[in-house]
Amino acid sequence: MSDEQHDTPHTPAPSLWPIGFAIGVACILVGLVVSIPALIVGALIALVFGFLWIRDLFATRPVDSATAGAPSEDPAQFGAVTEADLGTSVDRATFLSFGVLPSFMGEGVETYQVDLGPISNFPEGEYVIATFLESPEQGEVSRRTAFVRNNGRTEDGVPSFTTLFSRCVHLGCPVQPNGPIDEEALQEVNGVELRPVLAASFGCPCHGGLYDSEGNRSAGPPVRSLDRFEFSIKDGNLVLGRIFSVGSVEGTGAKARIAKYYRAYPGVHVDGIERFLYPLPTPGSTS
């Protein structure tokens, strides 16, 4: 048998699973209007065909047998994928899933506690751009940016901070503050760069996504509010933790009520009826 046969790319055979899944979704939508039994039947159809569809996709995915299952020796490779690395037949959505989503989701990088320094570095009522390496050992691939605002204290006397993650929840592009950045007031504390900014809102330059001062979607394609970092106060310092997703924010500052969910991929609804229209489970609420 010729070795050339092993060089032939294998593509998935035509499948009826997406059609079955679409029928299930249609039944769900009809059931929401007509009857509960129709909704249940649609959900079962969508679940079964969605599972078969996903299994089919993974079963037909080409794998390099020489490297399958072998861990990468260079952690920086998680953020070093280029469009050329994926070949000429890859579409833009696939490239984004390899190149943009790992950066957005922090894949390949564990969640660390990041000390941003004394809370006195964050003037009350003003945003500060905090740029830091989540893991110095991982290098630039772990660089993160947070928009941090000191909200003062809650009615219970607890320090309150707004800690927005700088990645757009449409496709993961970097979000920019809409306001002047005071570069002359730059501070560097233990490798963390802090830049004051007069930000009344935040915008994504890629596709026109717009968020208000609380991170709520104001316009454009994003489907939810900006993700946020959990935070804590330790020995008078502000410490950031893991990232979580936000459905919406009601109110402002220390009085804001945040609909908090487990972290979701960009473009995924975390609340409302829309969250049932995805073939993969959407994150559940954490509070």
List the domain boundaries for the chain.
3-59, 81-105, 114-277
Instruction: Name the more confident of 136 and 95.
Output: 136
Write the pLDDT tens digit of every residue in 66-93.
333 333 333 333 333 333 333 444 444 4
Q: For 139, phi and psi rounded to 5 degrees?
A: 85, -150
Instruction: Name the more confident of 227 and 103.
Output: 227
Which fold would CATH assign to domain 3-59?
Helix Hairpins (1.10.287)
Instruction: Name the more confident of 266 and 1.
Output: 266
Residue 34 token pair: 């007509």
Mean pLDDT for the chain overall: 76
CATH 2.102.10.10 fits 114-277, yes or no: yes
Instruction: Name the more confident of 165 and 23.
Output: 165
What pLDDT score does 152 carry?
93
- Whether residue 229 is predicted with pLDDT greater than 90 in this model: the reply is yes
Cα 111 from Cα 103, distance rounded (Å): 13
Instruction: Name the more confident of 122 and 79.
Output: 122
Residue 180 token pair: 């002047």
Residue 69 token pair: 């299952």
Calculate mean pLDDT across residues 4-15.
Answer: 46
Is 12 exposed, middle or buried, given 0-12, 13-18 or 19+ CB atoms closer than 10 A?
exposed
Instruction: Check: CB of residue 242 under 8 Å from CB of residue 230.
Output: yes
Strand partners, 148: 128, 163
pTM, entire model: 0.61
Identify which of 227, 107, 104, 222 has the alpha carbon closest to the alpha carbon of residue 170: 222
